[in-house]
Amino acid sequence: MRGLPQPRTELLSTAFGDLEYLVAGVGPAVPVTVFAHGRNSGIAETRPLGSGVPGRKVFFHFRGYGRSAPAPEPWYPADDLRAVADYVGATRAVGASMGAAAVGTLADRFARVVLYLPAVVIPVAVPALVLACRDDPVHPVGVAEEIAAASPRAVLYVFDRPAPICSARAELRHRIAGFLAE
């Protein structure tokens, strides 16, 4: 919002360029959860997903977003996620859309994952919460259903309306925080 001070971000230097990140949270320093945003999104849009999640929360910008280095061609978002997760010692991950694909690609690196509005099918072997919503043409419910069906440790929840970040924010936060607290 205009006029409000913005949280201070840091830059993580990696072999493929800087990645902008933000550490948030009060209380215990562990567990650490990393949050990966979707296409045309960023730290600010992903932060609401962390409300109520215990421990430290780390939000970052993929290359090509925010103050992170430009994205090369080809570019693999999972490389950015791995660099930040390794640096901060994350044991859990939450990914939205494009970020869900990156989290799914690296799912075995984490103890628990949340895939919010996944757009591609990636089976995961770790405990996973798969969140979808009806009537979302970019993130079809069928993709989330396939992930959950192929992943024996996955739990699927489908919201009745699109854009649960706006239409069901409290319930979305509750489901994510509750799953990650287990």
* pLDDT digit string (tens) for the chain, length 182 residues: 455 566 799 999 999 999 999 999 866 778 999 999 999 999 999 999 999 999 999 999 999 999 999 999 999 999 999 999 999 999 999 999 999 999 999 999 999 999 999 999 988 999 999 999 999 989 999 999 999 999 999 999 999 988 899 889 999 999 999 999 98
* Domain at 10-181: CATH code: 3.40.50.1820
Nearest to 113 by CA among 19, 26, 42, 49: 49
What pLDDT score was predicted for residue 1? 46
Domain residue ranges in the chain? 10-181
CA-CA-CA-CA dihedral for 48, 50, 52, 56, to nearest 10: -140
**pTM for this prediction:** 0.94
